[in-house]
Structure 1
Amino acid sequence: MTNIFTAIAAASALFVGVSHANADDLTDRAKAGKSIRIGFAHEIPWAYPGDKNEPLGFANALALGVLKSMGYTNIEPVVTDWGGLIPGLQAGRFDIITGGMYITGKRCANVSFAEPMGKFGDSFIVKKGNPKHIETYQDIKKNDSAMATVAGFVNVDAALKEGVAEDKIMQLPSLTEVLAAVKAGRADAGAGNDFAMKDLVKSAPDDIEVTDSSALPEWTFNWVAIAFKKEDKDFLKAYNEAQAKYLGTPEMLEAVGKFQYTKAQLPGDAKTDWVCSNR
Structure 2
Amino acid sequence: MARTDRRHRTGPLRRRTLLLGSAAAALGAAGCTRVASGDALDRLRSQGVVRLGIAGEVPYGYVDEDGEFTGEAPELAKAVFRRLGIERVQPVATDFASLIPGLNSQQFDVVAAGMYINKERCEQVIFSDPEYRMLDSFVVRKGNPRKLRSYEDVVRTGARLATGTGYAQLDYAVAAGYPEKDVVILQDQVAGLNAVESGRVDVFAATALTARLVVAKSGRAEATAPFAPVVDGRRKTDGGGFAFRPTDRALRDAFNAEIHRMKKSGELFRIMRRFGFTRAEMTTLTAEELCR
Tell me which residue corresponds to 1:60: 74
- Write the distance in 1 (CA, Å) between the matches of 2:110 and 2:84: 15
The answer on whether the counterparts of 1:119 and 1:265 sit within 8 Å (CA) in structure 2 is yes
The answer on whether the counterparts of 2:164 and 2:188 sit within 8 Å (CA) in structure 1 is yes
- After TM superposition, the score normalised by the length of structure 2 is 0.78
- Write the distance in 1 (CA, Å) between the matches of 2:228 and 2:290: 21
Choose between structure 1 and 2: higher helix proportion: 1
Q: Which runs of 5+ in 2 are unaligned?
A: 1-35
Which residue among 173, 181, 199 is the counterpart of 1:167?
181
SS at match of 1:190: strand
Distance change >3 Å, CA 89–CA 147, structure 1 → 2: farther
SS at match of 1:198: helix
CA deviation digits over 1:36-70, x for unaligned, max 9?
Answer: 11122232222222344433222222222111111
- Write the distance in 1 (CA, Å) between the matches of 2:92 and 2:100: 13
Distance change >3 Å, CA 129–CA 229, structure 1 → 2: same
- After TM superposition, the score normalised by the length of structure 1 is 0.82
Shift of 1:117: 1.2
Tell me which residue corresponds to 1:36: 50
- Write the distance in 1 (CA, Å) between the matches of 2:107 and 2:90: 11
CA deviation digits over 1:57-85, x for unaligned, max 9?
Answer: 22222222111111112210122333332
Distance change >3 Å, CA 177–CA 167, structure 1 → 2: same
The answer on whether the counterparts of 2:141 and 2:221 sit within 8 Å (CA) in structure 1 is yes
SS at match of 1:232: helix
Residue 234 of structure 2 is aligned to residue 221 of structure 1: no
Name the amino acid aligned to 1:271.
Answer: T
| Larger radius of gyration between Structure 1 and Structure 2 | 1
Tell me which residue corresponds to 2:104: 90
Distance change >3 Å, CA 148–CA 83, structure 1 → 2: farther
The answer on whether the counterparts of 1:62 and 1:252 sit within 8 Å (CA) in structure 2 is yes
Tell me which residue corresponds to 1:128: 142
Shift of 1:155: 0.8
Name the amino acid aligned to 2:220.
Answer: D
Residue 291 of structure 2 is aligned to residue 276 of structure 1: yes
Distance change >3 Å, CA 31–CA 256, structure 1 → 2: same
The answer on whether the counterparts of 1:141 and 1:163 sit within 8 Å (CA) in structure 2 is yes
Mean Cα deviation higher: 83-92 or 70-79: 83-92
Name the amino acid aligned to 2:119.
Answer: G
The answer on whether the counterparts of 1:135 and 1:215 sit within 8 Å (CA) in structure 2 is no
How do 1:241-252 and structure 2 match up within 5 A?
241-252=257-268
* Percentage identity across paired residues of the two chains: 30
Shift of 1:236: 1.0
Mean Cα deviation higher: 40-49 or 130-139: 40-49
Cα RMSD, aligned residues only: 2.3
SS at match of 1:153: coil
